[in-house]
Structure 1
Amino acid sequence: MSETKFKDIARQIEQRIDEGIYPPNAKLPPHRELAAELDTTPATISKAYKLLAEMNRVESFVGRGTFVVGESHLNQAIQPSESETEFNFSILQPYVLQNLSPLRIAYQKASLAFTPELLAYTDHSGHHAHREAGAMWAKRYGLNSATASNVLLTNGAQHALSLLVETLTQPGDVIAVEALTYPGILAIASLAGRQVIGIDMDEDGLIPSALETVLHTHKPKLVIAIPSHQNPTGITMPIQRRQAIAAIIEQSAAYLVEDDIYGFLNEDTLPAICHWLPEKGIHVSGLSKAISPAMRCGFVVAPEHLLPVLNAHIRANVWLASPLNFIVAEQLINSGDAFSMADAQRDIAKQRQAIAKDILGDVISESDGYHVWVTLPAHWQQERFVMEAKQRDLIVTSGSYFVAGNTNPNCIRLSLMSIKHSEALKQGLRALKALLESHEVSLAPF
């Protein structure tokens, strides 16, 4: 091979990036595929990709592939609307109009509860009454072992996940996640310098035998799983699968981080995986998905022996989560209003799932949560579909942002809750259906 051939290949790829053929954040072709196209070897493509990475034009992720450097993957997966005319299917949040009025009342009432003690520093991660409310929330949705003494308060579930990664792993350590997972987890791992390994999934979630293989081969310090209404697939693990996962973790050296942020969407309460892992399970929940993203109230239920180090990290980083939101959370939980609001969100999600099923049909996953996982027709490639949808004011999320394993299914994720009105939702879904069925695109082919 010529010493300069890989540099020539790198220049060709860079030209495609500059011309928009490979747009920001797009996944580049696998080594063998591009080697065949450019009449070279996979080794040459590998050297070209490495050179481009050194030039900060691309970035590679173990098990996911190589991507054009652009905006943050998390920012691309979850995009704010730029126009009132857009149909934003990218943001997973509760239907905020439903909770606007009760939240206004709740915050007004909470202001009357302000005392010097509540507005001052406190021991642990937050006030006892607020941790007690967090325990009540976790218990309601499947974790009976939660008490005020083993609950930590964080500024939302994302802060909780970051805290756990930072506290329980070191740079270079391996974290195992579902093969398709929430991009916020991938962003945390990337920024913290942790390696991510994906665990294969089936229709019931994490495959136990695949988990055993990853634990044996890669020896991760943490396994992070989303057991209910999994993001992005919508899968909810049945009880038998939860028990199987717990039994395997119990025999390993890893901790399980159970991101149960969507547990309130289950029609019947399912036991948390951590129910069977009192010493090795860490349970994360919160109010941002059930009440409002503005309520940065996260609850971490951890084994007693981990509480001192987790508290120390919280204190070193934020000292304590702001009590102001937790004053409201305590009142809503103790009165039962928080649970009523969560139930109302579940009902709205069911209604919107029925609308999506009626319009999109069998291309969507079986789910009753906030989102659906859409399998694209063979004539559509996911990055192309996302860009073409954007041309039509339809903001959707490419399946590539969720990939932690070796496979990259040709899918997109649609949130059904962020669009304000049902008629607008129907209009957006019909436009998506027309695009799914269309073979005509306005962009030049790759």
Structure 2
Amino acid sequence: MSVAKFKQIAKTIEARIESGEYPKGFKLPTHRVLADELNTTPATVAKAYQLLVDKKRVESFVGRGTFVCAPSRLSDVIQPADDETDFNFSILQPCLSQNLSPLRDAMMNAADHLSCHLMGYTENSGHESHRLAAVTWAKKFGLTGGNVNNTLLTNGAQHGLSLLIHTLTEPGDTIAVEALTYPGIMAIAQAAGRHVVGVKFDEQGMCPDDLQQVITQHQPKLVIVVPSHQNPTGITMPSVRRDAIATVIERNNIWLIEDDIYGFLNPDPIAAISNRIPLHSFHISGLSKALSPALRCGFLKVPESHIAVLQATIRANIWLSSPLNYIAATQLIESGEAFELAENQREIACKRQQIARDILSHDGNESGFQIWWPLPQQWQQERFVMEAKNQGLIVSSGRYFNANGDDPKHIRLSLMAINSEQRLQKGLKLLRDLARSDVSSVIPF
């Protein structure tokens, strides 16, 4: 069988997908039907289909056929539960039942401190006192060199990430990320017309040697790294690996975006990569994971060379983030209560990781919000996700985290969105039992 033949068939199918002849969700012809059309053999078509499965262009289901994949969407990864009886393992957020009362009080106190000055427009990206609070927050968890001039305020870390990608790159540029990465990064890149290439990683995070190889081969304009409790794997880079990544970035004179939104989960602060290469790096932190997504408080520490352009971009984009949110956040940071709430979330995460280890017999991370759970061999990811949802268990398929289109055979489980430990235990036991079950016994193919 000619290797060129099945690859050419795969290209023909891809062309039909791109033209709309085969729209998303479309069931492809059987191997024999397409083989007759293209004057080849069913085995050659089968190999072409497998190539497209590997590239995440199509999905094959035993007994059902092969279907065109829909584009990966954040809504496929982060799914709202249909009702309160569902067990939502898909959303990475703090355990809000623990933070609700302090946050409610902070918002009420913020309203009492409103003034004409705070309710009006301001220069830069927000008021100086709020930027100073952002400096205090980031410094607590390992960032040095921040000040009220080089620290900018955004509507959450995701907004900050989007601003940086649009500012530092052009359509058609390449961005290097961890081979398994947060789908929000890929969603921004896709919407902006940027290409994403994955860098291999090991138990210590992104591999410096492979990063150098990717830079040499693909010439990315920037590199994005999540150094602490990486999403989805939960890996935290030790200091030695952070030094090595900084060396590669500096040697190649490219930009680094360090998304350290989970830095508060480290038992002890770890020095940021940005500390080592302040002229080449942009550091992101914020309060969404530690306190609440509703606060929408993101903090950017940027090189002096980009302060003015990013201030102008923020002004053109949103003018400034809501001062009301930042009044509440500043009060919580200045009083120290924000750090107490963050530590409480870390302690909850530690306890829930232990619960998951006991029930799933899986070695997770000591204090992360999630586990990267390998599925038994008999399960295909989408089948498991579908059957889990039928049982009221909302989980995130590992395929949405793949930058290079590989199949990780994992799902990501958030341990924090379910508010009570009792319900968490019940949901984990249901997942365990489903994973152990025979596929044919739960899916009627």
Q: TM-score, normalised on structure 1?
A: 0.87
Opposite residue 202 of structure 2, the aligned amino acid is D
Q: Secondary structure at the match of 1:251?
A: helix
Q: Distance in 2 between matches of 1:42 and 1:304?
A: 55
- Aligned CA distance change for structure 1 residues 100 and 37 (closer, same or farther; 3 Å): farther
**What are the superposed Cα offsets for residues 166-212 of structure 1, whole Å, 9 maximum, x if unpaired?**
00100000000000000000000000000000000000000010011
Opposite residue 147 of structure 1, the aligned amino acid is N
Q: Distance in 2 between matches of 1:347 and 1:328?
A: 23
Q: 1:262 — aligned with what?
A: 262
Q: Secondary structure at the match of 1:153?
A: strand
Deviation, 1:108, is 1.2
CA contact (8 A) 2:25 2:70 kept: no
- Aligned CA distance change for structure 1 residues 148 and 376 (closer, same or farther; 3 Å): same
Deviation, 1:312, is 1.1
**What are the superposed Cα offsets for residues 97-122 of structure 1, whole Å, 9 maximum, x if unpaired?**
11111111111111121111111111
- Aligned CA distance change for structure 1 residues 295 and 45 (closer, same or farther; 3 Å): same
Deviation, 1:443, is 2.7
Q: Distance in 1 between matches of 2:299 and 2:9?
A: 55
Deviation, 1:48, is 9.3
Aligned counterpart for 1:40 among listed residues 41, 44, 49: 44
Deviation, 1:72, is 5.2
Opposite residue 396 of structure 2, the aligned amino acid is T
- Aligned CA distance change for structure 1 residues 282 and 390 (closer, same or farther; 3 Å): same
- Aligned CA distance change for structure 1 residues 74 and 38 (closer, same or farther; 3 Å): farther
Q: Where do residues 18-417 of structure 1 align in structure 2 (5 Å cutoff)?
A: 18=26, 38-40=42-44, 68-70=68-70, 73-362=73-362, 364-405=363-404, 407-417=406-416
Alignment pair present for 1:429 and 2:433: no
CA contact (8 A) 2:25 2:69 kept: no
Deviation, 1:367, is 4.2
- Aligned CA distance change for structure 1 residues 147 and 69 (closer, same or farther; 3 Å): same
- Aligned CA distance change for structure 1 residues 186 and 37 (closer, same or farther; 3 Å): farther
Q: Distance in 1 between matches of 2:373 and 2:389?
A: 16
Q: 1:30 — aligned with what?
A: none
Opposite residue 430 of structure 1, the aligned amino acid is K
Percent identical:
51
Q: Distance in 1 between matches of 2:109 and 2:212?
A: 50
Opposite residue 75 of structure 1, the aligned amino acid is S
Gaps of 5+ in 1: 23-35, 60-65
Q: Secondary structure at the match of 2:371?
A: strand
CA contact (8 A) 1:229 1:235 kept: yes
Q: Secondary structure at the match of 2:110?
A: helix
- Aligned CA distance change for structure 1 residues 16 and 70 (closer, same or farther; 3 Å): closer
Opposite residue 437 of structure 2, the aligned amino acid is S
Deviation, 1:407, is 2.8
CA contact (8 A) 1:285 1:298 kept: yes
**What are the superposed Cα offsets for residues 310-334 of structure 1, whole Å, 9 maximum, x if unpaired?**
1111111111111110011110000
**What are the superposed Cα offsets for residues 391-420 of structure 1, whole Å, 9 maximum, x if unpaired?**
111111011000002532100000000001
Q: 2:438 — aligned with what?
A: 439
CA contact (8 A) 1:374 1:411 kept: yes
Opposite residue 412 of structure 2, the aligned amino acid is R
Q: Distance in 1 between matches of 2:232 and 2:48?
A: 34
Q: 1:25 — aligned with what?
A: none
Gaps of 5+ in 2: 31-39, 60-65
Q: Distance in 2 between matches of 1:222 and 1:261?
A: 19
**What are the superposed Cα offsets for residues 46-89 of structure 1, whole Å, 9 maximum, x if unpaired?**
9999xxx8xxxx79xxxxxx984547521000000111211000
More displaced 10-residue stretch of structure 1: 345-354 or 2-11: 2-11
Q: Secondary structure at the match of 1:227?
A: coil
Deviation, 1:18, is 4.7
CA contact (8 A) 1:234 1:367 kept: no
- Aligned CA distance change for structure 1 residues 39 and 256 (closer, same or farther; 3 Å): same
Q: Distance in 2 between matches of 1:8 and 1:219?
A: 26
- Aligned CA distance change for structure 1 residues 125 and 430 (closer, same or farther; 3 Å): same
- Aligned CA distance change for structure 1 residues 4 and 332 (closer, same or farther; 3 Å): closer
Q: Secondary structure at the match of 1:148?
A: coil
**What are the superposed Cα offsets for residues 248-268 of structure 1, whole Å, 9 maximum, x if unpaired?**
101113100000000000001
Q: Secondary structure at the match of 1:117?
A: helix
Opposite residue 386 of structure 2, the aligned amino acid is M
**What are the superposed Cα offsets for residues 306-360 of structure 1, whole Å, 9 maximum, x if unpaired?**
1111111111111111111001111000010100000000000011111000000
Q: Secondary structure at the match of 2:356?
A: helix
- Aligned CA distance change for structure 1 residues 306 and 271 (closer, same or farther; 3 Å): same
Deviation, 1:45, is 5.6
CA contact (8 A) 2:9 2:48 kept: no
CA contact (8 A) 1:174 1:220 kept: yes
Deviation, 1:10, is 6.5
Opposite residue 172 of structure 2, the aligned amino acid is G
Q: Secondary structure at the match of 2:123?
A: coil
- Aligned CA distance change for structure 1 residues 20 and 140 (closer, same or farther; 3 Å): farther
Q: Distance in 1 between matches of 2:113 and 2:14?
A: 68
Q: Secondary structure at the match of 1:413?
A: strand
Opposite residue 39 of structure 1, the aligned amino acid is A
Deviation, 1:424, is 0.4
Opposite residue 157 of structure 1, the aligned amino acid is A
